[in-house]
Copies of this chain bind each other. A is one copy, B any other.
Amino acid sequence: MARSALSRDEVLDTAAALVKEHGPAALTMRRLAAELGTAVTSIYWHVGNRESLLDALVDRTVTDLGTIRPRGATPAERMVSVARAMRRSLRERPHLVAMVHERGLTERMFLPAQRALVHEAHAAGLRGADAARAVRAVQFQVVGYVLVERNRERSPAQSPGEEELWREEPSTGSDPVLAEALAAPVDTEALFTESVRALVEGLLAGARTP
């Protein structure tokens, strides 16, 4: 009757799968036990309690996001590629990343990317405090962007939506093109790339004209 030996890794794997598929709320100790075919209390022996189980999942995610391969011919291109890779990785694991955010470990998760950015900032000729400011500006930009995007995507269908709100906005009566533009949905992918490119160029411009 007894199933084969339970291991900490098996617990973590099953828990991660549960979170990836159904979100963190679906990860109850009882459901996890059912999925594993063990008693609820066995889980406690392997991972302590629910809180440290979540900690372990978050740790895994943080290490998973540690692989960064900058691409491109110039330092600027490579910095943009790092930013885009960071954004992509984050968006692939929404639930797990949300848990990383909740635990305030976003910074830690970005350390490898930060290192890559330092390397490219140096290659572009930035030094000292200027290089530090550039690295942090890009990091804040990316993290902030992803958080905003997640936010927007989780937003339920709203009534009235942005569209209706801006269609009959009196303050834009003299500028129908503006009203139209604000009523249209945001292309966040394009806006992200544009913003990062502009930011990086702005930051690197300092290196050429000190």
Whether A158 pairs with B108 at a CB distance below 8 angstroms is yes
A175-B127 contact, Cβ under 8 Å, with A140-B148, A191-B136: yes
Query: A90 CA to B202 CA in the complex, in Å?
Result: 28
Closest Cβ neighbor of A174 among chain B residues:
B122
Query: A131 CA to B104 CA in the complex, in Å?
Result: 35
Residues of B within 8 A of A128 (CB): 175, 177-178, 181
Shortest C-beta distance, A93 to chain B (Å), equals 16
Interface string of A113-134 (1 = CB under 8 A from B): 0110011001000011101110
Shortest C-beta distance, A119 to chain B (Å), equals 6
Whether A152 pairs with B191 at a CB distance below 8 angstroms is no
Query: A158 CA to B104 CA in the complex, in Å?
Result: 10
Interface string of A85-118 (1 = CB under 8 A from B): 0000000000000000111111110010011001
Number of copies: 2
Closest Cβ neighbor of A181 among chain B residues:
B132
Residues of B within 8 A of A198 (CB): 202
Whether A151 pairs with B101 at a CB distance below 8 angstroms is yes
User: Is A209's CB within 8 Å of the partner chain B?
Assistant: no
Residues of B within 8 A of A101 (CB): 151
A104-B177 contact, Cβ under 8 Å, with A111-B165, A143-B144, A145-B144: no
Whether B155 pairs with A118 at a CB distance below 8 angstroms is no
Closest Cβ neighbor of A140 among chain B residues:
B148
Residues of B within 8 A of A115 (CB): 169, 171
Whether A104 pairs with B155 at a CB distance below 8 angstroms is yes
Whether A118 pairs with B151 at a CB distance below 8 angstroms is no
User: Is A154's CB within 8 Å of the partner chain B?
Assistant: yes
Most buried by B among A136, A140, A162, A195: A140
Residues of B within 8 A of A186 (CB): 136
User: Is A15's CB within 8 Å of the partner chain B?
Assistant: no
Whether B152 pairs with A104 at a CB distance below 8 angstroms is yes
Query: A115 CA to B202 CA in the complex, in Å?
Result: 28
Whether A105 pairs with B148 at a CB distance below 8 angstroms is no
